[in-house]
Amino acid sequence: MVSRAGLAVIDVLSTGRRATPAALAKETEYSQSHIYEVLDNLLEAGILAEKRGPNNQRKVRVADHPVVEAYRRLQSELSHVKWADLLSPATLRVCWFLDEPRRVSGIADRLDITRQGVHNALSPLKHRAMLSPSGPEYALTDDLSPLLTFAREVVTHDHRSRAREIAPSATVEWCDPKRTLVRVQTTEDTDALLDAPEWQVTGLGRFEEYGLQFFLAGEPAFWYAPDEELTPGEVVCHTLVLNSGSRRVSYAMLLIEALKIDQETLTDIAAWYELESTVAAMYQALQGGVKDSDEAPIAIPSESEFMALKEQYGVA
């Protein structure tokens, strides 16, 4: 996660200027030794670029990077706010959830922190009237969409960097501040993530664990969610996030049938992936007989196709 000091550096350099570590230390009021550490982290992450001058003097500038572009948009559209003073890593993590009204308790559970921790992270935004309270729920005001975009770019960058330290070809398919779903492109990267204890195979590559084995065209997807159990409901959602074509929908429905996954449980999980309507359509098909429907948000397999799939894999 980009630190407060890192954000202060990006803020100073966001106009496109170059600066030395000494100049950055003076303008940000962080010690020069700490600035060196911050610069090394931002350079390694690709957020900054460096050029050496006379006597090997370091000069840095911002690079073309999604985090930088999102911050520039935030500055441009909401220039009256000193964002580098206002935002902390904790505030950015909480902001990820504020695209719609959410309860503090729900955010706390999702981040595995206390409700007071969420309130503390929200405090700078509350004091600037940047939240739209709706009963016990909070969301960002309508004009703060650039802040939401910036928070999500920072979170995505954090997960991308973590994954690419192990698997350089990794791309983020979905994430929240604590969890991420990634794809990789090479067998070497698959092997590396298989050996990493905090990463688990998910999506179609996980079906074998439940007695359903399918041919994988390419490498399996991986899930990062430290200290959490990877449930069948999550696997269903990951399968659909990665590919919502007719065959993947069929396989997801097959797993639901094979494991008798409860609709309410899966709907609660699906809400985080914006898959509620997809899950509703699958259960409607399963409960009323699988049939074609032009009104469904996904391609539902025909009854004959799904029955043949169930017979093939011995699912009652």
User: 76 to each of 24, 129, 175, 297, how far by Cα in Å?
Assistant: 22, 19, 26, 37
Residue 211 pLDDT exceeds 60: yes
Report pLDDT for 150: 97
Tell me how far apart the alpha carbons of residues 97 and 252 are, in angstroms, rounded to a whole number.
27
Mean pLDDT of 84-89: 94
Residue 305 sits in the same domain as residue 186: yes
pLDDT in tens, 293-304: 556 667 788 888
Question: Is 163 inside any structural domain?
Answer: no
Residue 290 pLDDT exceeds 60: no
Residue 192 sits in the same domain as residue 297: yes
Percentage of the chain exceeding pLDDT 70: 97
Residue 77 pLDDT exceeds 80: yes
Q: Are 161 and 45 in contact (CB under 8 A)?
A: yes
Residue 230 sits in the same domain as residue 106: no
Residue 138 sits in the same domain as residue 195: no
Token code pair at residue 73: 């948009």
The CA-based dihedral angle spanning residues 25, 27, 29, 35, taken in that order and rounded to the nearest 10 degrees: -30
Identify the band that residue 280 occupies on the pLDDT scale cut at 50, 70 and 90: very high
For residue 230, give the DSSP letter.
Answer: -
- pTM here is 0.91
pLDDT, greater one: 269 or 53: 269
Average pLDDT score over the chain: 93
Which CATH number is 41's domain given?
1.10.10.10
Report pLDDT for 216: 81
Token code pair at residue 6: 């890192």
Residue 116 sits in the same domain as residue 135: yes
Residue 209 sits in the same domain as residue 133: no
Q: Report phi then psi at 277, rounded to 5.
A: -70, -35
Residue 31: is it exposed, middle or buried by C-beta count within 10 angstroms (0-12/13-18/19+)?
Answer: exposed
Report pLDDT for 95: 96
Identify the band that residue 186 occupies on the pLDDT scale cut at 50, 70 and 90: very high
Residue 169 pLDDT exceeds 80: yes
Residue 12 sits in the same domain as residue 109: no
Residue 176 sits in the same domain as residue 255: yes
Report pLDDT for 55: 74
Q: Which residues form the domain of 204?
A: 168-312
Q: Report phi then psi at 99, rounded to 5.
A: -75, -15
Token code pair at residue 212: 């359903």
List the Cα angle 60/63/69 in 5-degree steps.
130
Mean pLDDT of 196-223: 93
Residue 193 sits in the same domain as residue 305: yes
Tell me how far apart the alpha carbons of residues 29 and 52 are, in angstroms, rounded to a whole number.
23
pLDDT in tens, 226-251: 989 999 999 999 999 998 888 889 99
